[in-house]
């Protein structure tokens, strides 16, 4: 699915595919806790705003500090997105991906919500430069999600 203005044609699918590959690569790095894989898909100086389930308050950090935190976790993390919507600046270097997500911690659905990836094209490659999420505890039905 792609967000576009009805008066402008959608960006080429290869551009959207490239953007989605970077977001999926970022999530794969999260799942493996690989600093090296994160480096391929993002800019450490980028910003994050994370909205954990209530009552934990909204948190802000750099992508780099998030990577360092994730790399130390012992828990198994599996996060995935679905139905991503992509918006690309026509002829530019800015894109956004809005997607529902679910995160499993040690095999149990821990939280669900929406993630927004901000990407910039830097030296011909898309990189995650920002990320925001809003999440909540899963319903009973969502606890059974794959």
| Residue 77, in any domain of the structure | yes
Q: Bigger pLDDT: 146 or 80?
A: 80
Q: Which domain holds residue 113?
A: 13-136
Asked which of 21-25, 55-59, 73-77 is least confident by mean pLDDT, the reply is 55-59
Higher pLDDT, 35 or 10: 35
Please tell me the predicted confidence (pLDDT) of residue 52.
87
Higher pLDDT, 49 or 6: 49
> Chain-wide mean pLDDT for the chain?
90
Residue 1: closest CA among 95, 132, 116, 99: 99
Report, as an integer, the average pLDDT of 46-68.
94
**Is the residue at 144 inside a domain?**
no
Q: Is residue 67 part of a domain?
A: yes
Give the total number of structural domains in the chain. 1
CATH number at residue 56: 3.10.450.50
Distance CA 114, CA 97 (A): 10
Query: 80, 63, 73: which is closest to 132 by C-alpha?
Result: 63
Q: Residue written as tokens 């059974």?
A: 144
């Amino acid at each position: 699915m792609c967000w576009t203005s009805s008066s402008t044609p959608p960006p080429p699918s290869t551009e959207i595919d490239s953007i989605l590959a970077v977001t999926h690569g970022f999530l794969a790095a999260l799942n493996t806790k690989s600093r090296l894989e994160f480096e391929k898909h993002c800019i450490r100086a980028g910003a994050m705003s994370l909205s954990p389930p209530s009552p934990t308050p909204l948190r802000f950090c750099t992508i780099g500090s998030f990577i360092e935190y994730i790399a130390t976790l012992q828990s198994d993390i599996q996060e995935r997105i679905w139905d991503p919507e992509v918006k690309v600046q026509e002829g530019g270097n800015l894109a956004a991906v809005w997607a529902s997500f679910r995160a499993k911690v040690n095999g149990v659905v821990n939280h669900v919500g929406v993630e927004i990836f901000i990407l910039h094209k830097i030296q011909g490659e898309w990189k995650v430069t920002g990320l925001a999420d809003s999440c909540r505890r899963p319903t009973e039905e969502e606890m059974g999600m794959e």
